[in-house]
C-alpha cells in the first residue's frame, strides 16, 4: 500500500533503499524490511495461488505461523515472505500450487540421466 | 554436549525475564528465538504501557524491549537468534534449526516462553488477500513501516483490535469501522475511547458475513447478530474496504509444552487450553517451566513477571538460589503480578490463574 | 452454510466438508483430520484447530477442552531432511 | 432366529474390515476400540500394498483376492488405491542374486516383475542416487492405499450394516464359563456375544492372555515422516534392499538394528518415509532422536536431491509381528469362541480377505485353520519383551 516515511511515534524512516524483483519486475523497498512488507508497499497483495482451488493468497498471520504467504524466493519455493528479510537484488516469484520444486526436482533427477 | 542451567525458548518479555533471572542468580541460561532479534511482540507495541514503575508504566512497548535487551546483555545472557526449536526429547534435549544447521541444547531446566498465536476466523472470502490477522497489520506498520491497507474494517473489540485500529490510523490508514459480535467492548475503555474520539464507529452486536472482491478484498458485508450470535436477516450492510483485520483473541502456543508431555487444563479467561502450572510456573513435568502468553494469554507486563518467576524457580532447581531466597523472590514477583491482575478484566484472569495452580495441586 | 467457508487454509478444506466428517462420525480433531486432511498441511493445524474444535463442540454439546489440543507432533514447523539427519550428531557434539 | 453376536476387539484395519464383513454377513456386531480408530499401526503406516512381500501360497491367495476387492471398491470410492508398481533397491551383488530368486518365485504365481540396472532405475525412481542404487527389482503389481481412508471406509460400511463402533472402550477382562467367553468387560459396560474376534494389533497378545490364549507377538517400532509435496522421486512404492536380507531378518529383525527403509509418494506429492527399528514395547510410541536422524539420513543417502526437502510431521507406531513369520489365526484352546486374527505382515495388503476368512471361520470352515497359525503355538525365536 505505502511506506510510512513519517510516523508520529516512530519518527522519520531513514533506512537505505534497495531493489528486489517480483516476477521479474524491479520493486523498491528498504533495508530491514521483509519481502512481504516490500511487496505490499508496492501494491502486491497476491503472493501465491493455492494447489487445489487455484485461489489467490496473501499475507495472513504475518509471523510465520500460517504459511499463507509462501513464495518462490531466490528459486526456493515455499519460502515465507513474511519471515524473509529482503536483500538487494532478491528474486521473488508468485508461487503456483506447490511451487516449482516439482520442476526443480525433475531437473535434479534428469541431470543424472 | 554443553549443559545449560536453563534453556529458555522464546525471546519475548517472558523469555527475557526468565533468562535474566537465571543469569542474575549466577546461572548460565541460553535464550533461543526464531527471529533476527529478541523482544517478541514488544517491538510492535508503540503504545504506552500501564501499571507500576516496575512494569515501566508510561513507557512504550519497544522502549521496554530495548531496556530488557540491555539488561540481558549486562547479565551476559547467551542468545541464539534465528534459531527455531522443532523438538523436545527426553533428558531435556532441545533440537533446533539455525539457518540450515542442526543445533541441539541440553539443559538442567527448560523454560517455555513461546507466546501466543492469534485466533483465526472463518467466513466466506476469508482467504482473499487483504483479510489478515490484526497482528500481521501491526507487524507490517510498526516494524517495517508498511501500511497494510488504506480502508480498514477491524473485527474484534478486544485490546488487540482497539490498539491496532488506533495504530493503523496513526500510520495513516482510514479505519472505516470496528465491529464485534459481543454487546460490549472487550478491551480497556481507555483504548476504546481513543478510537471513538478519532471518529471510528464501533458497531457492537455485529459480525462479518463475507469479504468480497475479485482476487483481493474490495468490500465486506456485515450484519447484526441476535443474543445467540445468529445473524439477523435483512440487516446486511456492505462497506467498501480493501483490508479486513481479524482480532478475535489469542491462544497460547502449546506445541512445545504438549511435546514435552505437560498436562493441560482449560482456562477460558487465559485463552483456552493452558499447560497446568504452579504459581512458580513449573509444569506437570519436573524441570520444565512455562511463562508468558504460552502459559495463558495475558499482557506483556504479566509475561515479563511470569518469566522472572519461572527464572527464579529454575535457578532454585539448579541449586543457584536457596529455598529462602526463592520464596522471597517469588513473593515479590507475586505481589507485582497480583497488582497487574486487578480491575474488571484482571480479576477474571486472576481467578483463572488460581484455578490453574489448583489443577497443579496447590 | 450456503456459502463456502474455508476452515483449513493449507489443505483448502471447507466448513461443509468438515461438517460432513463430523456427521459421518468423526469425534476428534484427529478423526476429522483422517477424513478430510484438515490440519495436515504446511502449518499442521495451527490455524484451523480451534475452529474445528468449536465445530465439534457445538455439534456434540461437549466443551472445547475435550477436543484440544489434539495430537501434536514434531517437528514444530517444517524442518529439512538434512537438518534432521544431522541432529543426532549435533546432540552428541553440542553447540560450540 | 436372532442374529449371532460378534464382538470385534480392535479398531484398526483388520478390526474395521471384520466388522464390515461380519455385519454384512448377518452378524450383530460391536467393535470395541481402546482409543480411537486407526490410532496405532493402522494410522501410522504408509499404506504399502505388496504382492512380493511373501511368497507362500496361502499369503498370495489372501493378497490377490484382496487386491481384487480393492479394485472393485475403487470403482465407487476413492481410497487412493493404486497399483503403480513398486521397487526393491539393489545395492550389491548379493541383492542381484536375491532379486533373481524372487523373480523366479513370482513367476510361479504369474506375478510379473523385472530387474533394472543403471539409468533404467530412473524410470521408476527418478530421484535415486545411482552410485548407491545399482538396480531395482520392480513389480508392476505393487501399490499403495490411503490407510486412513481405508479404515474409515470399512468403518462406514460396518455402521451402515448395523455394527456398533465403540471408541475409548478398552476390554479389561473376559467373563468365561469353562473355555467359552460369555462377555467382554469394559469401563463402558459388559459386551456379551457368541464370538469374540481379537484383531487388536499390537495389543492382541494382551487380549489373548486375558482369555488364556498365549498369542506370542513381538513388536518393533516404526518411525515415519511425511515431506512437503515434491516432484516425483519415486513412482509407486519403494523398499530398501534389506528386504533381500532373507525373510527371517525382514520379518523378525535381529535385535536393535534398523530394518529396511520404505517409502510411498502420495498423490499430492508428499513422500511418506518409514523405517522400522528395534524391538520395543507394545505401548512405546516415543520418537527417538536417533530414530529420526537415522530415517532422514538413510533416505537422503538414497535420494540426495531431497536434502532440503522439508518434513512436516513425524510419528512412530508400534507394529506387531511374529518371530516365526506366521500370523496368528484361529480359535484358542482355552477360549474356543475367541478367534484371533493378528500378526499378519502387511495387513493392508490382505485385510479384506482376512475379514472374509474370519466370517468363514465363524461359520466353521477356514482355509487358514492350520496349526502353524495357532494363537496357542510356541513361536521360534520369540523375544518376550513384555514378559
Distance from CA of B342 to the nearest CA of A (A): 29
Interface test with C, best of A66, A77, A95, A99 (most C CBs within 10 A): A66
Between D89 and B55, name the one with better pLDDT.
Answer: D89
Q: What is the CATH number of domain A6-112?
A: 3.10.20.440
Residue pairs between chains A and D whose CB atoms are closer than 8 Å = 47
What does the longest C-alpha to C-alpha distance in chain A come to? 61
Q: Which positions in chain C touch D228 (Cβ < 8 Å)? A: 42, 78
Full residue range of the structural domain in which residue C47 is found:
6-94
The structural domain count of chain C equals 1
Residue C1 belongs to a domain: no
DSSP 8-state code for residue A11: E
Q: Determine the 3-state secondary structure of B270 from DSSP.
A: helix
CA distance B312 to B310: 5
Number of H helices, E strands in chain C: 4, 3
- Residue in D with minimal Cα distance to C27: D36
Q: What is the DSSP letter of A59?
A: -
Neighbours of D188 (CB within 10 A): 12
CA dist., res. B30 & res. B108, Å (int):
11
Regions of chain B where pLDDT drops below 70: 1, 51-53
pLDDT digits (tens, 9 = 90+) for D207-240: 999 999 999 988 877 888 999 888 889 888 888 8
Contact in structure between B143 and B44 (CB atoms under 8 Å): yes
- The predicted structure's pLDDT at residue D206: 93
Measured between alpha carbons, how far apart are the two ends of chain B, in Å? 36
Which residues share a beta bridge with D82? D144
The closest alpha carbon to D314, from A32, A17, C79, belongs to: C79
CA dist., res. D358 & res. D368, Å (int):
9
Beta strands in C1-70 (DSSP E): 6-8, 13-14
pLDDT(D53) > 90: no
How close A104 comes to chain D (CA, Å)? 8
Interface contacts (B, D; CB < 8 Å)? 9
| pLDDT at res. D1 | 61
pLDDT at B235: 96
Does the N-terminal peptide bond of residue C69 adopt cis geometry, omega within 30 degrees of 0? yes
Q: How far is CA D240 from CA D259, D261, D273, in A?
A: 9, 5, 11
pLDDT at D278 over 70: no
pTM of the model: 0.88
At residue D243, the pLDDT reads: 64
Could you read off the pLDDT of D289-320 as tens digits, one per residue? 888 998 899 899 999 999 999 999 998 888 88
d(CA A11, CA B14): 28
Mean pLDDT, 10 residues at a time, over chain A (113 residues)? 82 89 96 96 95 94 90 90 95 86 38 27
pLDDT in tens, B207-258: 999 999 999 999 999 999 999 999 999 999 999 999 999 999 999 999 999 9
What whole-number distance in Å separates Cα of residue A109 and Cα of residue B63?
52
The residue in chain B having the minimum alpha-carbon distance to the alpha carbon of residue D308 is B100
Quick check: B95 and D289 CB within 8 A? yes
Instruction: Kindly report, residue by residue over D351-384, the tens digit of the pLDDT.
Output: 999 999 999 999 988 988 999 999 999 987 776 5
CATH number at residue C50: 1.10.10
For residue D265, the model assigns a pLDDT of 87
Q: Verify whether the Cβ–Cβ distance A33 to B216 is below 8 Å.
A: no
Comparing CA positions, the residue from D243, D293, D238, D319 lying closest to residue D271 is D238
Q: Does the beta carbon of D289 lie under 8 angstroms from any beta carbon of chain B? A: yes
DSSP code at position D120: G
- Interface contact D180, partner A, CB < 8 A: no
Distances in whole angstroms, Cα of residue D381 to Cα of each of D221, D286, D376: 18, 25, 15
Question: pLDDT (tens digit, 9 = 90+) per residue, D125-151?
Answer: 999 999 999 999 999 999 889 888 899
Q: Where are the beta strands (DSSP E) in D203-251?
A: 218-227, 237-239
Angle subtended by helix axes D13-24 and D347-362, to nearest 10: 40
- Chain center to CA of D239: 15
Chains that touch D (3 or more CB pairs under 8 A): A, B, C
Amino acid at each position: 500500500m505505502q511506506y510510512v516515511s513519517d510516523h508520529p511515534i516512530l519518527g522519520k524512516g531513514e533506512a537505505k533503499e534497495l531493489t528486489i524483483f517480483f516476477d521479474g519486475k524491479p520493486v523498491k523497498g528498504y533495508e530491514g524490511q521483509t519481502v512481504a512488507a516490500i511487496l505490499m508497499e508496492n501494491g502486491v497483495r497476491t503472493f501465491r495461488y493455492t494447489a487445489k482451488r487455484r485461489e489467490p493468497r496473501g499475507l495472513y498471520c504475518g509471523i510465520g505461523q500460517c504459511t499463507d504467504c509462501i513464495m518462490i524466493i531466490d528459486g526456493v519455493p515455499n519460502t515465507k515472505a513474511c519471515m524473509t528479510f529482503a536483500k538487494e537484488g532478491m528474486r521473488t516469484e508468485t508461487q503456483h500450487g506447490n511451487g516449482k520444486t516439482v520442476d526443480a526436482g525433475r531437473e535434479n533427477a534428469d541431470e543424472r540421466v | 554436549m554443553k549443559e545449560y542451567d536453563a534453556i529458555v525458548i522464546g525471546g519475548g518479555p517472558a523469555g527475557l525475564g526468565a533468562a535474566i533471572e537465571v543469569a542474575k542468580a549466577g546461572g548460565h541460561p541460553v535464550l533461543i528465538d526464531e527471529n533476527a532479534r529478541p523482544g517478541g511482540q514488544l517491538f510492535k507495541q508503540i503504545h504506552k504501557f500501564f501499571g507500576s514503575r516496575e512494569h515501566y508504566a508510561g513507557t512504550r512497548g519497544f522502549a521496554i524491549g530495548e531496556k530488557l535487551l540491555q539488561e540481558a546483555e549486562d547479565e551476559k545472557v547467551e542468545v541464539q537468534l534465528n534459531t527455531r526449536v522443532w523438538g523436545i526429547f527426553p533428558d531435556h534435549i532441545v533440537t533446533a534449526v539455525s539457518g540450515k544447521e542442526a543445533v541441539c541444547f541440553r539443559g538442567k531446566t527448560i523454560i517455555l516462553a513461546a507466546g501466543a498465536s492469534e485466533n483465526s476466523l472463518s467466513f466466506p472470502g476469508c482467504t482473499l488477500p487483504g483479510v489478515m490477522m490484526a497482528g500481521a497489520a501491526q507487524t507490517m506498520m510498526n516494524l517495517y513501516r508498511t501500511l497494510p491497507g488504506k480502508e480498514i474494517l477491524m473485527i474484534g473489540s478486544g485490546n488487540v483490535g482497539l490498539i491496532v485500529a488506533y495504530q493503523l490510523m496513526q500510520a495513516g490508514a482510514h479505519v472505516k469501522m470496528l465491529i464485534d459480535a459481543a454487546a460490549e467492548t472487550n478491551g480497556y475503555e481507555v483504548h476504546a475511547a481513543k478510537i471513538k474520539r478519532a471518529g471510528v464507529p464501533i458497531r457492537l452486536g455485529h459480525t462479518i458475513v463475507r469479504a468480497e472482491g475479485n482476487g483481493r478484498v474490495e468490500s465486506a458485508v456485515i450484519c447484526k447478530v441476535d443474543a445467540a450470535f445468529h445473524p439477523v436477516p435483512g440487516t446486511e450492510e456492505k462497506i467498501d474496504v480493501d483490508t479486513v483485520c481479524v482480532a478475535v483473541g489469542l491462544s497460547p502456543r502449546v506445541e512445545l509444552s504438549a511435546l514435552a508431555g505437560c498436562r493441560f487444563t482449560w482456562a477460558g479467561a487465559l485463552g483456552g487450553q493452558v499447560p497446568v502450572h504452579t504459581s512458580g510456573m513449573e509444569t506437570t513435568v519436573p524441570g520444565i517451566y512455562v511463562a508468558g502468553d504460552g502459559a495463558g494469554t495475558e499482557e506483556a507486563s504479566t509475561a515479563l513477571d511470569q518469566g522472572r518467576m519461572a527464572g527464579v524457580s529454575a535457578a532454585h532447581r539448579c541449586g543457584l538460589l536457596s529455598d529462602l531466597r526463592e520464596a522471597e523472590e517469588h513473593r515479590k514477583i507475586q505481589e507485582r503480578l497480583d497488582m497487574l491482575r486487578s480491575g474488571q478484566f484482571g480479576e477474571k484472569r486472576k481467578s483463572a490463574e488460581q484455578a490453574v495452580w489448583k489443577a497443579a495441586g496447590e | 452454510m450456503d456459502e463456502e467457508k474455508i476452515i483449513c487454509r493449507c489443505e483448502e478444506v471447507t466448513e461443509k466438508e468438515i461438517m460432513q466428517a463430523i456427521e459421518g462420525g468423526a469425534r476428534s480433531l484427529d478423526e476429522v483430520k483422517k477424513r478430510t486432511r484438515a490440519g495436515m498441511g504446511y502449518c499442521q493445524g495451527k490455524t484451523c484447530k480451534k475452529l474445528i474444535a468449536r465445530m465439534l463442540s457445538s455439534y456434540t454439546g461437549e466443551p472445547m477442552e475435550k477436543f484440544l489440543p489434539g495430537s501434536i507432533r514434531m517437528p514444530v514447523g517444517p524442518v529439512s531432511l538434512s537438518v534432521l539427519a544431522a541432529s543426532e550428531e549435533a546432540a552428541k557434539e553440542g553447540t560450540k | 432366529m436372532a442374529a449371532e453376536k460378534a464382538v470385534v476387539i480392535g479398531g484398526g484395519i483388520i478390526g474395521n474390515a471384520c466388522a464390515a464383513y461380519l455385519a454384512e454377513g448377518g452378524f450383530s456386531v460391536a467393535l470395541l476400540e481402546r482409543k480411537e480408530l486407526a490410532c496405532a499401526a493402522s494410522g501410522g503406516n504408509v499404506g504399502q500394498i505388496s504382492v512380493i512381500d511373501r511368497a507362500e501360497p496361502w499369503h498370495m491367495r489372501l493378497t490377490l483376492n484382496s487386491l481384487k476387492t480393492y479394485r472393485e471398491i475403487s470403482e465407487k470410492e476413492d481410497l487412493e488405491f493404486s497399483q503403480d508398481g513398486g521397487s526393491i533397491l539393489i545395492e550389491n551383488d548379493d541383492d542381484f542374486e536375491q532379486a533373481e530368486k524372487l523373480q523366479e518365485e513370482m513367476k510361479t504365481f504369474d506375478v510379473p516383475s523385472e530387474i533394472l540396472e543403471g539409468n533404467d532405475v530412473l524410470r521408476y525412481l527418478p530421484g535415486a542416487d545411482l552410485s548407491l542404487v545399482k538396480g531395482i527389482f520392480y513389480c508392476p503389481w505393487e501399490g499403495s492405499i490411503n490407510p486412513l481412508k481405508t479404515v474409515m471406509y470399512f468403518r462406514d460400511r460396518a455402521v451402515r450394516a448395523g455394527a456398533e463402533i465403540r471408541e475409548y472402550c478398552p476390554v479389561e477382562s473376559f467373563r468365561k464359563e469353562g473355555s467359552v467367553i460369555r462377555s467382554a468387560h469394559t469401563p463402558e459396560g459388559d459386551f456379551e456375544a457368541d464370538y469374540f474376534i481379537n484383531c487388536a494389533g499390537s495389543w492382541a497378545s494382551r487380549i489373548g492372555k486375558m482369555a488364556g490364549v498365549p498369542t506370542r507377538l513381538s513388536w518393533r517400532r516404526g518411525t515415519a515422516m511425511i515431506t512437503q509435496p515434491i516432484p516425483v522421486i519415486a513412482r509407486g512404492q519403494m523398499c530398501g534392499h534389506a528386504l533381500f536380507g532373507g525373510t527371517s531378518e525382514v520379518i523378525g529383525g535381529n535385535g536393535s538394528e534398523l530394518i529396511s527403509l520404505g517409502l510411498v509418494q502420495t498423490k499430492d506429492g508428499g513422500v511418506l518415509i518409514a523405517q522400522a527399528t528395534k524391538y520395543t514395547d507394545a505401548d512405546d510410541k516415543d520418537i527417538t532422536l536417533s530414530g529420526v536422524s537415522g530415517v532422514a539420513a538413510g533416505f537422503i543417502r538414497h535420494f540426495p536431491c531431497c536434502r532440503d526437502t522439508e518434513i512436516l510431521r513425524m510419528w512412530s507406531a508400534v507394529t506387531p509381528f511374529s518371530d516365526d513369520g506366521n500370523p496368528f489365526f484361529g480359535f484358542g484352546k482355552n477360549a474356543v469362541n475367541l478367534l484371533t486374527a493378528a500378526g499378519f505382515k502387511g495387513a493392508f495388503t490382505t485385510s479384506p480377505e482376512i475379514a472374509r476368512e474370519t466370517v468363514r471361520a465363524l461359520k466353521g470352515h477356514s482355509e487358514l485353520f492350520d496349526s502353524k497359525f495357532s494363537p496357542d503355538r510356541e513361536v521360534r525365536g520369540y523375544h518376550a519383551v513384555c514378559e
